[in-house]
Amino acid sequence: MGRVLVTGAAGCGTTTLGRALAQAADAPFLDADDFFWLPTDPPYRSRRTAADRYSLLTAELAQRPQAVVAGSLMGWGAELEDAFDLVVFLYLPTALRLARLRAREEARFGKADPEFLDWASQYDAGTAQGRSLALHRQWLAERKCRVLLLEGDMTTAARVQAVLQALA
């Protein structure tokens, strides 16, 4: 299988697909958020430095010829960004992503952070800082490996099957 990166906007299912794909391929699963964010309570409050997250993930991947990574690695460094055999890009319409994010945040934290939802809602328009559809498309065009685009609301099983077929 090699190394696979599953990426896309917040709420499109990168973590869900990443975990399912790792299980189906009997490969380790790594979540980019675990490298991006320092462990805090509540979570997602303090970022690691760019150098630290690069070093941590690079060291982890050096030990794993097969792995599934979920999350965005844009701007983490070309060597790391090109360390994959396949990049899977998930895309869902904004309304569906926001509904999923709201439900996820409420289940995890008892409420959805309006600031986070506002940031996530701007992905398609590209008006918020960080990830946007235009930046993702540009980043994908620069990758040296194959890119698989999965658009629309598919089941996790269908997505896993599509990725496994692309890897075959």
Read off the pLDDT of residues 134-147 as tens digits, 9 standing for 90 and up.
999 999 999 999 99
Q: What does the pLDDT average to over 91-109?
A: 93
Output the CA torsion 111→116→122→123 (10° steps): -100
Q: Mean pLDDT across the stretch 79-96?
A: 95
For the record, the structure tokens of 128 come out as 């918020």
Whether the pLDDT of residue 130 is over 80: the answer is no
Q: What percent of the chain has pLDDT over 90?
A: 83
Task: Tell me the torsion sign for CA atoms 20, 22, 28, 33.
Answer: negative
CATH topology of domain 3-167: Rossmann fold (3.40.50)
Average pLDDT in the 143-163 region?
96
Sign of CA dihedral 40, 38, 6, 20: negative
Residue 45's pLDDT band (boundaries 50, 70, 90)? Answer: confident
Q: Is the pLDDT confidence value at 128 over 80?
A: no
Average pLDDT of the residues in 9-30: 96
Average pLDDT over residues 36-63: 91
pTM equals: 0.92
Instruction: Report pLDDT for 44.
Output: 82
- Contact (Cβ atoms closer than 8 angstroms) between residue 1 and residue 66: yes
Whether the per-residue pLDDT at 88 is higher than 90: the answer is yes
